[in-house]
Structure 1
Amino acid sequence: MSDTLTIRSDGALDFLSLGALVHRLDPGNVPFRKATQCAIHVSGGEFNCAANLSDCFQMRTGIASAMVDYPIGDLIAERVRAMGVTPFYKHFTHDGARGPNMATVYSDRGHGVRGPVVFYNRSNEAAAQLKPGDFNWPGIFGAGVRWFHSGGIFASLSETTAELVIEAMQAAKVSGAVVSFDLNYREKLWNAAGGGHPRALAVLRRIVRHVDVLVGNEEDLQKGLGIPGPEVAATSTLDPSAFFGMIDRVVGDYPHIKVVATTLREVHSTNRHRWSAVAWISGQRYVAPTCDLDVHDRVGGGDAFASGLFYGLLTGESPEQSVKLGWAHGALATTFPGDTTMATLDQVKSLAKGGSARIQR
């Protein structure tokens, strides 16, 4: 088996995601118990990558997801259009009272020594009702898709969403698309769906058998795949050696994987982080530069890293440059409110080359 990632050169879409679309209520750094107003951000771990690749990197992207025909659905659909992402929706009708619903994520940013707080209302979520057979994968992939992506957040929602991820990955493989997956382990979601950690291990191990490119930090690898590693809660450093040791175990267990990547984040306070990234690509190790971040909103930083990395690989950049592009885009994303990018490609490339915050005239 070749250890080189093979990416088709053409297709109607450069990138297609499968995942849940959600809206995040953000009161800034005010705790919800004292909040009087919130910004609304359209999000979803899988959608964020498609939106970033479209808006910043000018790629042709799509999202396969659930859509409810009510005002919150309209708000979300408008934002999908605004980011230039082609939708493939399974439509649901709201009953006026109980749903089904587009999920709500609540997230205050914290400040200083007070960390961010995230919780959910995913009751009667339309995306959790998605199942195999809901999308015409032969038609979608038949038009040409270069890269397919999904993640552990969507897989956690129900038994049927996990099966849908596998169905889509199998169709993507038949069509010749690269398949990527972000483990994005969320304990609250796996517990809420039933089965908890044992179910998460079983589901994610099945899914990863179909994956070419795996994204996940140390905690994701430990809890999502059962890979031994250091006690994550006890350390927060930028030393990549522990992560590379875990990668050796991952590719030993899943030798078909061509790329494993993650961000490295040393948190000094909610608003001050040291930031880097690492990747294992076709047997070689790559480490991004390190920089200090003044964080405005950390939500979506990991998705922004993945987006920049995917862009580099899709456009034929070297592995080293691809990692730098991911690192730079992830760093820039933390300076904006919301879950999706507001960066330009020029900004990303400038920072990847060693640019600074000097004024641009």
Structure 2
Amino acid sequence: MPLPLRTDACALDLLSLGALIHRLDPGATPFRKARTFDVHVSGGEYNVAANLADCFGLRTGIATAMANYPIGELVQGRVREMGVTPFYKHFEHDGVRGPNLATVYSDRGHGVRAPVVFYNRANEAAALLQTGDFDWSAVMAGGLRWFHSGGIFASLSDTIPDLIIDGMKAAKAQGAIVSFDLNYRAKLWKSVGGDKRAVETLRKIVANVDCLIGNEEDMQKGLGVKGPEVTKKDESKLNTDVFFDMIERTVKEFPNIKLVATTLREVHSTNRHDWAAVLWLEGQKYVSPTAHLDVIDRIGGGDGFASGTIYGLMSGRAPQQALNLGWAHGALLTTYHGDTTMATLAEVEAFAAGGGARVQR
């Protein structure tokens, strides 16, 4: 049974609610030896909106916090370049301590040396957001088809979960589909109460969700759903049986969920991954092909998968086709520097249909 998507003309195909960040990237150089950085504008929730606008041509928006200082101006410029409509709650920067837009530091590693990610989210503007900061009736006035948020944003402060739920309820009143990417990050939850708070918070949010994105670790550690040990070394990360078992357990606890999807990744080295994806839709199971990736930058691959799959569903593709589009777009995204797409729809469709890497002349 397909998702009950709106088919009438809407001002926004998708609205994301989340935090904007800037990522400093020294490439393969470890931070302690770095002298130069690339700056990537990102955010788990924003990336989905940016990918859908830039690659897939949809009308998307981002509801988020904006700090009025030069970093904020840089970020706003990149948002405009990706074609995403912003709905900002502005905060004045005091010139010294903030509020700030969060900084994420991430060197890519290489070969046997793993990537390293750490954060500076002190006095983050997005963490100050609360219910009432967005007039949802105005934001969604022209109609909305899909609403998206995620677990990274939910972890930032005590006020954010209620804001997410408020946005979800407003979207539901519009007849929109609601999706949520669990994106469990132990470092972030540790700073705001740890695993117990993560489970309490995410379960409260997921009770309002139609479509869930997350792997078996997200469901166990983020939702507290009992399942197989996620750290077993002798089992392939591409074992779809493990994931589908976790889905069955999860939807029993959350019968409101109609769709669950995730990527499956076997990491042989920092730059060599096996890549697959699975989709569960109203009890039907779908599995993508497996690709052998030569990875440039793995960050953003999961958001690339989510956006490609959402596009497939919103454009009326069959579930298997939608999954393959997400799998293909996520794979392509790992071949670019940065967190957001540089692909075209034609490239995604060609790879999803089995296209290779022969030179195009």
- TM-score (normalizing by structure 1): 0.98
Q: Measure how far apart 1:237 and its partner are.
A: 2.2
1:326 maps to 326
1:33 maps to 32
- In 2, the alpha carbon distance for the partners of 1:120 and 1:305 equals 24
Say which of 209, 212, 219 aligns to 2:210. Answer: 212
1:171 maps to 170
Q: Measure how far apart 1:139 and its partner are.
A: 1.5
2:262 maps to 262
1:292 maps to 292
Q: Is the 8 A contact 1:51 1:80 kept in 2?
A: yes
Q: Measure how far apart 1:234 and its partner are.
A: 2.6
1:24 maps to 23
User: Superposed, which structure 2 residues align to 1:163-312 within 5 Å?
Assistant: 163-193=162-192, 195-235=193-233, 236-312=236-312
- In 1, the alpha carbon distance for the partners of 2:359 and 2:270 equals 26
Q: Measure how far apart 1:360 and its partner are.
A: 1.2
Q: Measure how far apart 1:233 and its partner are.
A: 2.6
Any stretches of 5+ residues in structure 1 without a counterpart? none
- In 1, the alpha carbon distance for the partners of 2:163 and 2:215 equals 24
The AA in structure 1 aligned to 2:197 is R
Corresponding residue SS for 1:7: coil
1:342 maps to 342
Q: Is the 8 A contact 1:66 1:130 kept in 2?
A: yes
Corresponding residue SS for 2:273: strand
Corresponding residue SS for 2:132: coil
Q: Is the 8 A contact 1:142 1:175 kept in 2?
A: no
1:66 maps to 65
User: Superposed, which structure 2 residues align to 1:18-167 within 5 Å?
Assistant: 18-167=17-166
Residues 211-234 of structure 1: CA deviation (Å, up to 9, x unaligned): 000000111011011122232233
- In 2, the alpha carbon distance for the partners of 1:253 and 1:142 equals 33
Q: Is the 8 A contact 1:258 1:281 kept in 2?
A: yes
- In 1, the alpha carbon distance for the partners of 2:191 and 2:357 equals 43
Residues 224-269 of structure 1: CA deviation (Å, up to 9, x unaligned): 1112223223344211000000000111111111100000000000
- In 2, the alpha carbon distance for the partners of 1:211 and 1:131 equals 20
The AA in structure 2 aligned to 1:46 is E
Residues 297-354 of structure 1: CA deviation (Å, up to 9, x unaligned): 0000000000000000000000000000000000000000000000110110000000
The AA in structure 2 aligned to 1:293 is L
- In 2, the alpha carbon distance for the partners of 1:237 and 1:7 equals 32
Residues 51-108 of structure 1: CA deviation (Å, up to 9, x unaligned): 0000000100000000011000000000000000000000000001000000000000
Q: Is the 8 A contact 1:4 1:258 kept in 2?
A: no
- TM-score (normalizing by structure 2): 0.98
Q: Is the 8 A contact 1:332 1:343 kept in 2?
A: yes
Corresponding residue SS for 1:74: helix
- In 2, the alpha carbon distance for the partners of 1:182 and 1:40 equals 24
Over 3 Å counting, the alpha-carbon distance change for 1:39 and 1:359 in structure 2 is same
Corresponding residue SS for 2:191: helix
The AA in structure 2 aligned to 1:265 is R
Q: Is the 8 A contact 1:6 1:178 kept in 2?
A: yes
Q: Measure how far apart 1:140 and its partner are.
A: 1.6
Moved more, 280-289 or 232-241: 232-241
The AA in structure 2 aligned to 1:5 is L
- In 2, the alpha carbon distance for the partners of 1:231 and 1:120 equals 28
Corresponding residue SS for 1:142: coil
Q: Measure how far apart 1:4 and its partner are.
A: 4.4
2:316 maps to 316
Corresponding residue SS for 1:232: coil
Q: Aligned Cα RMSD in Å?
A: 0.8
Moved more, 122-131 or 225-234: 225-234
Q: Is the 8 A contact 1:271 1:295 kept in 2?
A: yes
- In 2, the alpha carbon distance for the partners of 1:124 and 1:69 equals 14
- In 1, the alpha carbon distance for the partners of 2:332 and 2:207 equals 33
Corresponding residue SS for 2:28: coil
- In 1, the alpha carbon distance for the partners of 2:227 and 2:268 equals 22
Q: Measure how far apart 1:196 and its partner are.
A: 0.8
Q: Measure how far apart 1:163 and its partner are.
A: 1.0
- In 2, the alpha carbon distance for the partners of 1:8 and 1:108 equals 41
